[in-house]
Amino acid sequence: MSLLTTLMRRTTDADFGSAADTPKHLGWLMLTALGIGATIGAGIFAMPGIIAGKAGPAGILSFVITGIVILIVAICYERFSVKVPHGVSAYSYVYYSIGEVMAWIVAFGLFLEYSFGASAVSIAWGEYLKNATNLKIDPFWCGPVIDHTGQFHFGVNIIAIGVIFLVSTILLLGGVSKSAKLNFFLVILKMTLLVVFLGFGLRHVNPANWFPFMPHGFEGVLKGAATAVFPYVGFDALYTFARESKSLKDTRLATYWCVGIVAFLYISVMAVATGLAPCYIDGKPNELFVGTEAAAPLAKLLASVGEGWTSQFISFGAVLGIFNVLLVFCMGGPRIFKNMAEDGLLPPVFQKTTKGNPVLGIILNGLIVAGIAGFVPFGSIADMMVLGTLVAFVLVCIGALRLKLVHPLLAIAGAVGCSILACNLEPMVLKVYSVTLPVGLLIYFVYGFKHSKLGKARAMRAQEPVETSSH
């Protein structure tokens, strides 16, 4: 057997075995809430400023374009959930349809995306907390910054580090069920706050702020659309809980409700946000849409039009809502590691759980996320979150095409769409990925390749005829 054939070995239905030990406690409502919980906080409360800085008011189109691409990918995910009901997220689906080494690349990339994503959102949480409480902290303890001249100033973001450790502790002590119920409560609260933002924001929308609509042309729209992938990644987080769904129907309903609700809210909020203030003033980017200010755009935009108390109210709500995002993100990443450990690609210690949550994965995730959030500027993190996710989406679409789970044109459209978005990411993203991917592959070849349960099972089956003939 050639090395390439070994690397591309695929799981089969028999390799998944029984999932009877997995609790089936999440209905479509809870699953939808988990998906929305992972997206709305990051996308609505933290990303519009970054996207408007790249696309201008045409960031509205950015969310539309990304929403269409993500809907196609979501259809592939939903079809996979029927074909591979005991799988979890893009990792299992690519393992089943393409091969082991590609599944590893997907899993490692998604874990990094969850880490970068949780880091960026924890910084945004800190900005909203300061706005809600009028908290004044020495700039050094607010984290590192890059000033308008491009110079880096060292600092430590103690608020971001603290909230990550708090979330990790809740997950370790609270268990899955309690975490999901807390998530549902926070999603309802967050939806209410968004209605408040839209209601008060609409009164101050100035249509003149929407012009020029495309200050950077369609290229700017595509760059905004690439960044907008991160807000939609929540539906992938939803699929890390697929094995805990009560039924396939619950998973399907949750998928479409999640993508539909999120897309509608993103487009609406983006339209209002860019109508409240011009993206450019005298040819220069509005500070509300760049740098640290972009980490808490909704509150800052409301304050800029005189809605002081509403701004503070939204900030308070964002403190709860973004906390909810961290909860889901810090639940999702460790579950991917747990699934990989079950397949022998990581040490068995990653399988051990307490109250349904993988202990080591949560601790390791917490340390990585806290380190990034505490010592890397927000803008830099925001540009590093997306590529691994797009790689996963491309491979899921290719896998769906290979297994004929969807119409060929649909799968091709999803893969091409994600590839186009990936090509419009910042160059720094590719540099970071070019370093992290080899590290991930090194771990695979040092440990995962040798300990793969799929590889061991195939080797045993290959030896059986020889052993039989020797007796």
Residue 142 pLDDT exceeds 70: yes
More confident residue, 362 or 380: 362
List pLDDT tens digits, range 456-466.
Answer: 888 887 776 55
6 in a structural domain: no
Residue 137 pLDDT exceeds 70: yes
pLDDT at residue 293 in the model: 59
Question: Which of 393, 421, 381, 422 minimizes the C-alpha distance to 47?
Answer: 381
For the ranges 245-254, 290-299, 351-360, 455-464, the lowest mean pLDDT is seen at 290-299
Residue 146 has, within 13 A of its CA and on its CB side, a CA count of 10
Find the domain containing 84 and state its range: 27-464
Between CA 352 and CA 357, with CA 356 as vertex, the angle to 5 degrees is 65
Query: DSSP class of residue 26?
Result: B
Residue 20 pLDDT exceeds 90: no
> How many Å separate Cα 129 from the centre of its chain?
22
List pLDDT tens digits, range 52-101.
Answer: 989 999 999 999 999 999 999 999 998 898 888 777 678 889 999 999 99
For the ranges 34-43, 374-383, 417-426, the lowest mean pLDDT is seen at 34-43
Residue 72 has, within 13 A of its CA and on its CB side, a CA count of 24
Full DSSP string of 181-238: HHHHHHHHHHHHHHHHHHHHHHTT--GGGG-SS-TTHHHHHHHHHHHTHHHHTHHHHH
Mean pLDDT, residues 8-24 taken together: 70
365 in a structural domain: yes
Q: Which two tokens stand for residue 141?
A: 């303890």
Cα–Cα dist 78/82, whole Å: 7
More confident residue, 27 or 380: 27
Residue 274 pLDDT exceeds 70: yes
379 in a structural domain: yes
326 in a structural domain: yes
> How many Å separate Cα 410 from the centre of its chain?
23
List pLDDT tens digits, range 319-375.
Answer: 877 887 788 778 878 888 888 898 899 999 998 887 777 889 999 999 999 999 999
pLDDT at residue 469 in the model: 46
Cα–Cα dist 112/369, whole Å: 9
Domains of the chain: total = 1
With beta carbons less than 8 A apart as the criterion, state whether 97 and 15 touch. Answer: no
CB atoms within 10 A of CB 464: 9
22 in a structural domain: no
pLDDT at residue 41 in the model: 64
18 in a structural domain: no
pLDDT at residue 339 in the model: 81
Q: Which two tokens stand for residue 281?
A: 């003033």
Confidence of residue 45 (pLDDT cuts 50, 70, 90): confident
Region label for 9, one of left (φ > 0), alpha (ψ between -120 and 50) or beta (otherwise): beta
21 in a structural domain: no
150 in a structural domain: yes
With beta carbons less than 8 A apart as the criterion, state whether 296 and 45 touch. Answer: yes
Mean pLDDT, residues 175-196 taken together: 73
Cα–Cα dist 394/408, whole Å: 14
Task: List 63's β-bridge partners, or say none.
Answer: none
Cα–Cα dist 188/59, whole Å: 26
Residue 38 pLDDT exceeds 70: no
pLDDT at residue 382 in the model: 67
Mean pLDDT, residues 423-450 taken together: 89
Residue 402 pLDDT exceeds 70: yes
Residue type, 63: F
pLDDT at residue 471 in the model: 45
pLDDT at residue 419 in the model: 96
Indicate which CATH number applies to the domain containing 159. Answer: 1.20.1740.10
Rank 4-8, 19-23, 156-160, 293-297 by mean pLDDT and report only the highest. 156-160
Residue 298 pLDDT exceeds 80: yes
More confident residue, 23 or 144: 144
Q: Which two tokens stand for residue 174?
A: 């609270």
Residue 261 pLDDT exceeds 80: yes
Cα–Cα dist 327/41, whole Å: 11
Confidence of residue 276 (pLDDT cuts 50, 70, 90): very high
